[in-house]
Each structure stands twice: as structure tokens, then as C-alpha cells.
Structure 1
Amino acid sequence: MDLDAGLAALRPLGGFFVLRTAVSPVDVAPPGPLPTLAQTYAGTPPDARRDALTARIETVARRLGSHEQRVSASIAHQGLAARLWSAALGCAALYGRLPDLDPALLLWDCDATAPDDLWLTEVRPLPADPGTVADTVLHGHLAPLGATLRARYGVATGLLWGNAGSALAGAARELDRWARAHGRDDVSERCRTLTSALFTHPLLSATGTLTGTAFLRRSCCLYYRVPGGGVCGDCCFPRPPRPSPRATSG
């Protein structure tokens, strides 16, 4: 199945899977100007008065009521990772093709929620093999994003790759659930096969254990440090650990 210009096959999946394109409905046209993700990772916004990544992390902090920058940075990172994995997996499983998700082609509205946050400016088909998907998401996005978050907020490398693994497993689980509910065994099989292959990648293989669609990570995203937060379903901790007395400035 060839990719269409609007990636219409993603729309029934909803939520994190939908990816807006240049031919999306006019009533949800992106506000402008928006930075590309390439500009975001490099810290070079088109409008010098506003840094999109900092703005998103500050928004997450307000919504969570968190005063620890590294916690908000971790949660923001996992959310963006989930968006990227969802769009990539959804296209790979439904179309058997991957749109080129080069960071220079993706506009990001840091104030919006899915699916109005990401806009693909041009649909260029790529193979949907594990190597191409890994190059696109891991190396194209999560590596430079992680480097920026480590430099700015001191978020640990292992935590960030754990977020990447958790986001991949979560996207695969939701896609598999949708496929089974709609009698799409072909989609379910492609999703599971691709996800299993991706978890053999050196950047993901040590992040946790994938069993079917269940995942147990070896790190923690720090959500337990959010006021009223706890541990996530795939957390390495069975219960929230006692917070350390380290400074809360991140």
C-alpha cells in the first residue's frame, strides 16, 4: 500500500498516531511560524525570542506541578518519543512504508497536543525495515534530542534511552490492541515483528525486557517525583522509592 499525501490510514488510530501533513484539513492548519524539530534539537528557533523545547518543558512542569526541571524534561521527552514511534510504527504496519521523518521536515507546535503538534511538510516514502526505522527515529530524533536534554537539564543517558524503549513498547501495545480489535491480524503481526527487531538495536536492547506486548524497563522516568505521582506500569520499581534529598532545581 503506497503512502498517500495525507497519511489518511493513520486517522482511525487517533491520538499519538495521527501525523498532520501539508494536505491535512484546512481547519487544523498549523499556526506559524513553527520551528522544525531540527531547529529545536539544535536550539536555533526561527523566532529568537522563543525556544520551543524550553517552552514545552515549562508547560509540562506547570501541568504536573513539578519544580524539578529534570523530571519535567524526562516526561516531555517521553511524550515526544511516543509521538515519533507511534507515527513511524503506524505507517510501517499499515502501509508497509515509512514516511521520511527527517527532523528538517517536521514542524513542531510546542503548545499543542497530539495530533496537532507535529506537521510533516513533505511525504517522502522510505522502506519500513527495522534498520530504516531505527535510523529515522533513534538516530534522527532521539539521539540529538537526548544530547540537548543532557546538556541543558542533566537528564541521565540511561533514563532517556529507557524512555525511548518505554515509548516504543507503549506505541506497539496500542497499535496491536487496535489491530486485534479491528480484525487486522496483518497489522498486528507486522507491528510485533518490527518492534521485536527494534529492541535488538544496541541503543534499546538494554533498556528493558519485552515479552509479547508487555515491557519492563530497567530505569525510571522519574514520574514518581511528581506531586501525587507514582510508578508507571512498566517501571523498574514496584513502588515509589523514597525521594532523595538532592536539590530540586534539576
Structure 2
Amino acid sequence: MQFNSPNDINALIEQGFDLVEHAADPVVALRRQYPGGLLIPLHRHSRTQFLYARSGVALVATERGRWMIPPDHALLIPRGIEHRVEMFSGVEMQSVYMRDYEHGDYPCVLSVNELTRSLLAEVVKLQKPDKNDERSGLLFDLLMHEITRLPVRELGLPFPEKPSLAVLCKEFLKAPDPAASIDNWAQRLSMSRRSFTRLFRAQTGVSFVMWRQQACIFASLPKLASGESITSVAFDTGYESAAAFTTMFKRMLGASPRDYMRQQAGNAE
């Protein structure tokens, strides 16, 4: 479903909320197409949400943290947690709302495999299991089983609340600059180096250097998907060597860039 005005957005949110909250079925699946720049305001669900970005990049923010969702990953959001969603680009979102799925107190990012992706494509067409269609029930049951098996990825990139600092972070994600430095960012915010480093850590919980390394991994995903070499992507995203880039990439995504690309190519077949 697409929309072109604030009224369309409000109608979409209300429609989805009513369907999810009032459905008698234990599982509800929805597909939405969101434009870049859209902000879905704070809301919560009485069901655990499996929020999958089939394409594009989204940021989910809660009082407990902020999570980036790159392509082919999903965010599991426990029931009752208030969250807002910001689209960094056009996003095709597929969500599954599960009444009987329990998942701790914090959201987590999951890597979505080929089987889960195929199941999602089917269930969002159905929205809810059809009691008169055995295949429908089996698809939803298998999807629920597969979700419990998906690996967790450490992709909770910290993101600041302070608007001026958030602007710089968004700009960096869109166009990573290997020359970006503490002094440069401090100057743009009219702050001293010391004040900036204190602010950045207070807002994100990590140092500027660590955040930049993690952010560069996010920025590298579209480049790798387009076929650029690992060495080229490593230097473009500010790493001193392909080895250093590979180490950080594997730490975050659980596979080397080469294995990741091979996996993505296999998923696309």
C-alpha cells in the first residue's frame, strides 16, 4: 500500500493498528511501501512485531535504544514497547504481529534467510491464516518456527536524539566521508573538541571513532550489493585496509564481505 499525503499516512496507521489489535487470529502479516523521509510517530502493539525491511533502510527508536534495519534484516520488537520508525530511504516493509510470541525486554536485529523471505512474501498476501485453507495455516506455522531460528546480528547502531548531531549522522550514512573527524564535526556544531566528544558519547554511548566504524559497515552494504570490490569499499568507507574492514564486517554481520555477497547472490536466485 502506498500513500501520498499526511491523511493517507494517518489512515494507514489507524487501519493497520485496528487490524492488528482487533484480529482474533494469533498471527497477522502486513506489507507496506514507505517513502524516504517518512516518520511514523510513537506507537505500541499488544503483539510482538517482526519488522522486516525487504528493501531500503529504516531506523527504529525506543526509550531503550535505536536500531538500524538494513536490507535483508528484521527487527523483533517485544509487545508493549513504544517505538517510532524513520525511513532513511524508500522502504518496502513486511511485518508479522504475533500474539503468542515472547521475546524479552529489548528489540534485536535478525538476519533473514531465503526460506523466511519466501514465507514472508506469501503470508503478507494472506494477512491472516485461513481456517478453510490448510496451506495457509502451514505457511504461518512454518514462518513462526523459522523466526525462532534466525541469527541475531549486532546492528543496533546508536543514534543521537540531539537534532543538530542527528543531521550530521544521517548525512554520514548517506555519504560516508573517510576524512570525517572529531575536529570537523565539532567545528560544524560550533563546539570545542572536548565538548563534542563528551556530547557524542552521552548521546550514543560510544566514541565517535567506534560509531564511525559501525556506520561505515552500514554504508558499505549497498556498495557491496552493486558489485564493488571489497578493497574499494573498504577505502571508500574509511578503513585503512581490506583486512580491517573485513574484521569489523564479520563482527557485525557474522560473515566476511565475500561470504555475505555470495549469500546475497544465492538468495536472489
Structure with max Cα Rg: 2
Same fold (TM over 0.5): no
Bigger strand fraction = 2
Q: Which structure: greater helix fraction?
A: 1
Q: TM-score, normalised by structure 1?
A: 0.34
TM-score under structure 2 normalisation?
0.32
